Amino acid sequence: MEILIFAIVAGVIALAFAGLRVISVLREDEGDEAMRGIARSIQLGAAAFLKREYIVLSVFVAIVFVIILLFIDLDILDKNPLRTFDSDAPATAISYLIGAILSAAAGYLGMTVAVRANVRTAAKAREGLNGALRIAFNSGTVMGMTVVGLGILGLTLLYLIWQDPIPLVGFAFGASSIALFARVGGGIFTKAADVGADLVGKVEAGIPEDDPRNPATIADNVGDNVGDVAGMGADLFESYVGSVVATMSLAAIAIVGAAGIGAGFGQSDIFQSGADAFKGAAVVLPLLVAAIGIVSAIVASFFVRTGEDSSQGRLLWALRAGVYGASLLVLIGAAIAIAVIGLKWDLFWAILIGLMAGQLIGTVTEGFTSTDGFSIGRFRYSPTINLAKQSEAGAGPVLIGGLSLGMLSTAIPLVTIVIAIALANEVAGFYGIALAAVGMLAPLGVTLATDAYGPVADNAGGIAQQASLPPEVRARTDALDQLGNTTAATGKGFAIGSAALTALALLATYAFVTNITTLDLLNWEVMIGVLIGALMPFLFAALSMGAVGRAAQAMVEEVRRQFREKPGIMDGTEEPDYERAVSISTDGALREMVVPGLLAVIVPVVVGAVISAESLGGLLVGAIAAGAMLAIMMANAGGAWDNAKKYVEEGHFGGKGSEAHKAAVIGDTVGDPFKDTSGPSLNILLKLMAIVAVVFGPLFV
């Protein structure tokens, strides 16, 4: 009970700290009237999109709520073995609804602050770099603390109510379903606007990025917030709660002790005492680790600061100080907690494995996507700079080089995930694997802050350009934006790594609920499932990228139309129709997000119902294997293309307006849906399909 009280207190502290950061951000100067006017346009556009998106999603949530109520909680088919709790309440359905609401709330609250922090960051950048970094980072901290605070409070309070972790799978289902639609919808919006702005504005019209003459500029700024802030907040909210729920569920599985499953988990000798101690400690340990992570992230957030006119390397280390500091504090806190509770040290090693794996994946991601690259003594290797140099040969070599870089970048992260799985399983079985994912995401409050600050910095640069602020201001915001591309890729690496571990733990949970002890690859049903599962990430990526392409085409045509019909836009005698561009991105995103989102829910159900439960298990295996690699490749290739373009824009290889710059812009255009739409959505896809399988799996036996 003390653990649960600590978790509740930690959640309240996280939300209170987020509130203090909100006050701190809003106290800052908003700049002149021109800056405030641009910021208001961004705020109104972002709020309008989210309102329409959430209306559409509410219909989906209501339908799924009824389905869960009928087939899981009321068990009208009499096939659900998971009603192990003494309650007549529709626990799973209620948990699903709350998870969906909190996931949407996390994204909305983070975005609300971000669209107000952007103009304040631009205003502060007039004075120097450090102040601008602090405002943008504080805004990101609001997102980070809101996500972990709502996540741990929701899970802890529902566990206290139901007295069983199994219904919490519904909570994770609600979070994942909202996250997928939010990521896909927001990603389509932002990339359609971005592509339209870049191809017509930068390449065809030859005007700078974020130029106020570009009709797609405001839509591009809005997209940064609805996709990279609101969408990302919902994304990592579901990653966070998914890892905790998977770990708690595995503990509950060991208590139930399904035949043939418990032994395979390798959990029989983890705890020093019997089943009661196991139930009391193992189930709530993930909540304790998450609570420790919250406190650690708050302390470590004060470590983030830098000097004026810092290099990219120094800026990166300023953010690393927060992440590394939080990770170290998590380890110290976990060690103390395990010692006090009286659990075996095997569990500490599982947490350490998760943290080390996450840091290694993040470091490798930075090396492949930042211009600093990899440095060991005198040796320096920068794949991103090499990619920028390829722009001198044209768009073709840039595209080939980016794809090659992305594929190569999968090797070390995937090997890291494999080693982490092997080591965590060795020390604590499948429970250890799930706990490693919890450890990886424990410092999420600060790691998400380093990720979420990037869109704020990007918007600040746009406001600086549109408000005609001095060039040194835009130089400072560009430095923060370039860093944001790297930290965003790092955050995606963390999410993908944890997704693989969490999905594997959920696969074990699925084996329990369906009483499957083995998956025989020589069984044709299992093999069909594996192949369908491997297909799903590619099909999902194809649909989401195609959606971006269609929405972007509409935006390109609209921007061209305005330039053609309003020639005065170029000389400043006519105003672009920003609202029309925002409306086009909104309509395209809401229309195109439906099919990819439904696919993730419908396909697992169809495979399980039409073929077999074993085939659905194979589907999860195939999806984990293919999805993890594709997600890493797309995220890293996209980040490298983006930073290669910015490196050219800094004056290298011909600088802005050169042929090399045009080639780099085309590479970045291809990379945009890679890193901001399809890539980050894939980790949600893996967990959502696994959660759908866990929830509905008993119906297929």
Q: What mean pLDDT comes out for the span 443-463?
A: 81
pLDDT at residue 272, as a whole number: 42
The torsion angles phi and psi of 138, rounded to 5 degrees, stand at: -60, -40
Our measurement of the distance from residue 333's CA atom to the centroid of its chain's CA atoms, rounded to an integer in Å, reads: 25
State the DSSP H helix or E strand holding residue 412, giving kind and residue range, or none if neither: helix 411-441
Q: What is the pLDDT of residue 234?
A: 81
Judge whether residue 613 has pLDDT over 80. Answer: yes
Residue 192 near residue 262, CB atoms below 8 Å = no
Residue 273 has pLDDT above 50, yes or no: no
Average pLDDT, the chain: 84
Alpha carbon of 385 to those of 149, 369, 481, 672: distances in Å? Answer: 39, 9, 17, 18
What is the Cα–Cα distance from 259 to 253, expressed in whole angstroms? 11
What pLDDT does residue 485 have? 64
Alpha-carbon dihedral of residues 14, 16, 20, 25, nearest 10 degrees? 60
pLDDT in tens, 407-441: 999 999 999 999 999 999 888 888 888 899 899 88
- Residues sharing a CB contact under 8 Å with residue 461, sequence separation 6 or more, in sequence order: 122, 210, 474, 477, 478, 480, 481
Q: Does residue 525 carry a pLDDT above 90?
A: yes
Which 3 state secondary structure label does DSSP give 381? strand
- Higher-confidence residue of 547 and 619: namely 619
Question: Between 468 and 376, whose confidence is greater?
Answer: 468
Name the residue with higher pLDDT: 152 or 662.
Answer: 152
Q: Which two tokens stand for residue 240?
A: 């966070």
pLDDT at 177: 86
DSSP 207: P
Residue 241 CA, chain-centre distance (Å), reads 13
Residue 560 or residue 415, greater confidence: 415
- Which among 229, 232, 234, 264 has a CA at the least distance from the CA of 250? 264
Per-residue model confidence (pLDDT) at position 224: 76
Q: What is the pLDDT of residues 39-74, one digit of tens each?
A: 888 888 888 888 888 898 999 999 999 999 998 888
Q: How much of the chain, in percent, has pLDDT values that exceed 70?
A: 90
The helix/strand/coil state of 271 is coil
- Per residue in 307-356, pLDDT tens? 655 555 666 677 777 788 888 999 999 999 888 887 788 889 999 999 89
Predicted local confidence at residue 381, as pLDDT = 85
Identity of the amino acid at 74: L
What number of helices (H) and strands (E) belong to the chain?
A: 24, 2
Task: List C-alpha distances in Å: 247 to 166, 436, 506.
Answer: 11, 9, 9
* Among 445, 495, 437, residue whose Cα is nearest residue 243: 437
Residue 152's pLDDT band (boundaries 50, 70, 90)? very high
Residues 525/612, Cβ–Cβ less than 8 Å = yes
- The residue type found at 126 is R
Mean pLDDT confidence for 5-20? 94
Task: Using CB atoms within 10 Å of the CB of residue 128, give its burial: 0 to 12 exposed, 13 to 18 middle, 19+ buried.
Answer: middle
The reported pLDDT for the residue numbered 316 is 66
- Gap between the Cα atoms of 60 and 484, Å rounded: 33
- What's the pLDDT score for residue 63? 94
CA 627 to chain centre: 15
The percent of residues in the chain predicted with pLDDT above 90, rounded, is 30
Instruction: Name the CA dihedral angle for 51, 53, 59, 62, rounded to a multiple of 10 degrees.
Output: -80
pLDDT(29) > 80 = yes
Mean pLDDT of 568-587: 81
Mean pLDDT on 587-608: 87
Q: Under 8 Å CB-to-CB from 290, ≥6 apart: which residues?
A: 7, 10, 148, 151, 152, 240, 244, 438, 441, 442
Low-confidence winner among 39-53, 173-187, 197-211, 435-449 (lowest mean pLDDT): 197-211
Long-range interactions of 116-119: CB distance < 8 A, separation 24+: 116/25, 116/26, 116/39, 116/43, 117/25, 117/456, 118/39, 118/42, 118/221, 118/456, 118/459, 118/460, 118/462, 118/463, 119/30, 119/31, 119/35, 119/36, 119/38, 119/39, 119/460, 119/463
**676 secondary structure, DSSP code:** I
Give the C-alpha separation, 29 to 661, whole Å. Answer: 35
Report d(CA 145, CA 15) in Å as an integer: 6
Q: Does residue 260 have a pLDDT over 70?
A: no
Q: What is the DSSP string of 331-380?
A: HHHHHHHHHHHT--THHHHHHHHHHHHHHHHHHHHHHHHSTT-EEETTEE
Q: Give residues with Cβ within 8 angstroms of 138, minimum separation 6.
A: 21, 24, 25, 117
H/E run at residue 74:
none
Q: What is the mean pLDDT of residues 543-564?
A: 84
Closest CA to 693 of 520, 532, 493: 532
Q: What is the mean pLDDT of residues 544-567?
A: 84
Mean per-residue pLDDT, 441-464: 82
